[in-house]
Structure 1
Amino acid sequence: MNADFILAIGELGKEKGIDPELLFQAVEEALVTAYKKNFGSNQNVRVDMNKVTGELHIYAQRHIVAEVGDDPNEISLEEARKIDPRYEVDDIVETEVTPRNFGRIAAQNAKQVVVQRIREAERGMVFEKFSSRENDIVTGIIQRMENKNVYIDLGKAEAILTPNEQIPGEIYQYHDRMKTYIVEVKKTSKGPQIMVSRTHPGLLKRLFELEVPEIHDGLVEIKSVAREPGMRSKISVYTKDENIDPVGACVGHKGMRVQTIVNELRGEKIDIVKYSSEPDQYVANALSPAKVVSTEVLEEEKICRVIVPDYQLSLAIGKEGQNARLAAKLTGWKIDIKSESQAAEEAEQGAQEVGVAYEADED
């Protein structure tokens, strides 16, 4: 094995960010295997490789024992002391057994092992890099579509966007640049498998953290997120600083900040509401853009009864119940919505029932 090969291993290790010592160690292990395979030896052997010149020496190792059995890796104390009188039982005797044509075999095996070890090390580094970024956003370029899966190039790795994690109706085109949310990073025999999502609520949260400096700096906090991907989302925000409007900070000047996020999500509507520790106020805020007349909180059942103006009822409920459903998901409360006229009718009907019951008691 020549000096140029040794130099190349060192340079390659530095270039790939891998400790060259690990590559040299892997080469030595491979050479031990190559020796045993090509020369039919069951002996324990050690490879000594000069990391400057590439010169190789193979040494057979035998264990000194008081009584020799059938193990070819054992040697008697008497035989060992013929080699060196200083040997004692349990010492190791080394004898050079380097074959004359071993250099060519060594070079072939070393090349294969170096390539394999570099590939394994690169996979390990990619796994470490992306596993530490779980629950974070990555930007990639759509590489291909196969079996409804979208494969996204992240540079040194490839992410998979499965059908379940795709926004309904969203169109994915080759070479489009797109942000996704890392859900999970798995180790596989073919390298790290990075699973990403476009539907996860965390994607919306991280987009706001990236776009709104007040959230990034911790001045404004996102309390909750509710999404129906591709259709509509709601987020609730809060701040302890009385000089900051948390909703306004997220909306941005002329709606620029929220519009950037809407564009990234291909038109998904986003309602930003102010968080409140008072459930009745929080639910009222969550039903935005509908206006609420009054609320009644039933703590034990965790139900909030809401009354809205007649002309606001359909807005409060939303198309196919979407607004009320998202508000309930956002706040964690069941929401019972009625219009003012419905509430008045129920109150009147209830009063009549009380009157009938009262008269019956009188009889």
Structure 2
Amino acid sequence: MSDAQDIRTDIDNRYYHLLMGLQTGQEAAGIEVEGKVKAEHSEQHNSRRKLLDVERIAMRDKELNQRSKLHYLENISTIVHEEVCDRMQKKIDNIDDLSQNVLGMDDGLAAVYDALAIKAASIAKIEPTIAAIPWLTKELMDLSNSPKYRKTDRLGKVVRFETLRMTLSFFGIENLKLLIPMLTVQRWIPKVTDPYPAFKQKLWEQVIATGISCRKIAEFGKVDPFHAYLAGMYHELGKIAITKMFFKYFDNVQQEAMMEAHKEQKREEHLALQDVKIDPDVWLAMMWNQSYQIAANAVQHMNMKRVPIFQGMQELADKTPLVERSPLGRVLEQGRCYARFRVLRSYKLLNIEDAKKYLISCRMPKGAVAALKDVDMRQIALSFGED
């Protein structure tokens, strides 16, 4: 493995673990957590050194018993997680079912993006495609009437947007290109990921940063900024789908197994099943190995006619060498890398030396890093008065 591959794999590993939580990310980055006492310096460790022989014998027997219970629990956990993965794989292999029932993709979304993508795009042509998606209509209208975008007339009276046409005209074509992908991803991201509540926040930070980065980097080449932005916003659809399935199926399998053990009066197995917890390593492995292919499949399933981003996303899934990728595929990879750089730096999980190596390995376009330096990666910047 080359030095460039080494640093990229290392950074990817830090990012994946950050999704589990900051402390997990710090451990993956080799950073000692402040206030965490090392075992060899702990009070418990010192007391163990002073145990009498008879206590050591009792401790040994207790540890042997605990090891036996732990081994049994690990076996039960393995069986549960294997069943979870089997059920997930069946769903993953059915992209129609996954897109509709796991991600919750709307059939009319492709028509919205195709209408936005044409050079002669107009509010009149876009309106019926958005009106066909009730939740999107409501989100846009609520947003236009929110305090953030509230407008007043010459008499100081609040202007309220009562129709979809008014709302769309207020935002304009270019802002809608930014807003709609953002609103769709926000809708799809799982709301509950306990006992890893940080996941949804950390994933969103990466998604929005990638979309913003891709859109900016596209300016340095012959890539449509809207195409680049949409690819960046949608590149983590696989992680969203996997997480939704993993948590749902884990709960289902655990409950079914407990009911069966209770019915068959298998007390030890029932007690062990109660102690089985989600294994983050299995979850991470599923995301690491399959998330980008799922995202590419989901985008292909959308069947957009005027937004050709599937090839670039498939290149990401295939890990095609950067120099062999299509123009959009290169922008997607560069935007993804830059976003990870910014996210990891914001949590102090990337030092300057590693950051330099990482950005060099991403082959960023000349001038792109400087242009991105002062760009806010946490929220999209809408522009008014230009349409």
TM over 0.5: no
TM-score computed with the length of structure 1 as normaliser: 0.21
- Greater relative contact order (CA < 8 Å, ≥ 6 in sequence): 2
Higher normalized helix content (fraction of residues): 2
> Which of the pair is proportionally richer in strand?
1
Query: What TM-score results when the alignment is normalised by the length of structure 2?
Result: 0.20
Which structure would you say has the larger Rg?
Answer: 1
